[in-house]
Amino acid sequence: MDFQLPEELVALRKTVRDFCETEVKPFAREWDEKESFPAATVRKIGELGLLGMGVPEEYGGVGLSSLGIATVIEEIARYDGSLGLTVASHNGLCTNHIKWFASEELKAKWLPKLATGEAMGAWGLSEPASGSDAAGLLTTAVRKGDHWVLNGSKMWITQGTVGGVYVVLASTDKAKKQKGITAFVVEPGTPGFKTVPVKHKLGMRSSDTAELVFENCEVPDSNRIGQVDSGFIDTCKILDRGRITIGALAVGLGRGAIEEARAYALERQAFGHPIADFQAIRFMLADMQTEMDAARLLVQRAATLADEGKPFTREASMAKLFASEAASRACNKALQIHGGYGYTKEFPVERYLRDAKLCEIGEGTSEIQRIVISRELLK
């Protein structure tokens, strides 16, 4: 259950669900096993307009609300967390950074391509030695006339090897720490820039992940996003909305686990009865459903506040924290309900459990969310 969505979002949700039933559900297991990025399916998602959900119509996008984007991400993640992560990160990170803070020239060049999926967007913040401590990044950008020279590396970058455009955060004044970070657009094929695939992940295995390496990589000043040294402030605003979509992603995974566990419990027989007849199973399902309904409402509250232009930093962190941890619990219980079969790849619940763990790490760990929530609470 969720609060009453506008009719257009109900219709959109059904469209996404029908698409996923035919284009995603039959193939998600194979994509996961082969660690294969589903490029053809992603192109079809682009044709539906779901890669330009937040892009204004004048740039070829849909101009969907945060609530609408969360609804779509949940629906995709119910069938495949990796694909949900691809759509969430493309819409929420690289695209939003360009949409909100780039020059008109950069917007006109990249937003139409991002909206259709002609160019997949990647966003480079995390590094091998800086994750939660994002302000401690070591990648540098040194001005050289009308160019900047980038050196360093980025880690865990979604769409890392398939990206058509990259937004990269680099230190432009080490003495200022987080107040000395600037964002740049880097294009594939730029001399001194290469990507290295990251394989053998626990989950989200068909989401493309890579390390980005910069060795005397020159980018023109016209590719700078926003003011010099303002990148970290902009990044915090982007992460707030990103936490809403990761919360929605977690809800989708948890919901998928519940639906699979319910179906299995009604079919599986033990002691002459469906295991759904036993109180132990019923209570697990009750706890799972209660937590995921609460998680969805937290996500929808944060999204609605964002759409209304009201402060939502605390609410976004609360949604992401609760939804991600509740999803992991739901997926774990779903596997338990499946018993030995849940421990095999024959059923999707083991994949949901592996995928859900990422939601407790990406866009700020659970520990970082608790810092944000408590800081906002004690202001």
Question: Is CATH 2.30.40.10 the classification given to domain 232-378?
Answer: no
Please provide the CATH number assigned to the domain covering 7-120. 1.10.540.10
154 three-state secondary structure: strand
User: How far apart are the C-alpha atoms of 347 and 121, rounded to whole Å?
Assistant: 32
Report the percentage of the chain scoring pLDDT > 90. Answer: 95
Q: Is the distance from CB of 191 to CB of 255 less than 8 angstroms?
A: no
Altogether, the residues listed in the chain come to a count of: 379
Residues with a known catalytic role: 363
- 188 Cβ contact partners less than 8 Å away, ≥ 6 residues apart: 163, 164, 165, 166
Average pLDDT on 318-326 reads 98
Q: How confident is the model at residue 3 (pLDDT cuts 50, 70, 90)?
A: low
pLDDT at 2 over 60: no
CA–chain centroid gap for 349, Å, is 20
Calculate Rg over the CA atoms of the chain. Answer: 21
Of 1-5, 167-171, 193-197, 236-240, where does mean pLDDT reach its minimum? 1-5
pLDDT grade for 136, boundaries at 50, 70 and 90: confident
Place of tokens 């695939």: 197
Over residues 170-181, mean pLDDT? 93
Strands (E) in the chain, as ranges, are 121-124, 140-144, 147-158, 165-171, 181-186, 193-197, 209-220, 224-225, 269-270, 273-274
- The residues with which 220 forms a beta bridge, in sequence order, are 147
Within 10 A of 98 (CB to CB), how many other CB atoms are there? Answer: 25
Q: Given pLDDT bands bounded at 50, 70 and 90, which one contains residue 108?
A: very high
- Asked if residue 13 lies in contact with residue 75, where contact means CB atoms within 8 angstroms, the answer is yes
Average pLDDT over the chain, rounded to whole?
A: 96
Cα 208 versus chain centre, distance: 12
d(CA 50, CA 48): 6
Residue with tokens 């068909």: 206
Query: Where do the domains of the chain lie?
Result: 7-120, 122-229, 232-378
Cβ density class 272-309: b for 16+ within 10 Å, e for less: eeebbeeeebeebbeebbebbbebbbbbbbbbbbbeee
| Residue 178 pLDDT greater than 80, yes or no | yes
Average pLDDT over residues 195-216: 98
**What is the token pair recorded at 160?**
């890392």
∠ Cα 192 196 200 (to 5°): 170
- What is the average pLDDT across 61-87? 98
Which stretch of DSSP H or E encloses residue 77?
helix 66-77
Q: What is the pLDDT of residues 332-377, one digit of tens each?
A: 999 999 999 999 999 999 999 999 999 999 999 999 999 999 999 9
DSSP 218-237: EEEGGGEESSTTBHHHHHHH
208: number of Cβ within 10 Å? 27
**What pLDDT is attached to residue 209?**
98
Q: Do 325 and 318 touch, CB atoms closer than 8 A?
A: no
* Residue range 4-21, pLDDT digits in tens: 799 999 999 999 999 999
Assign a CATH topology to domain 122-229.
Butyryl-CoA Dehydrogenase, subunit A; domain 2 (2.40.110)
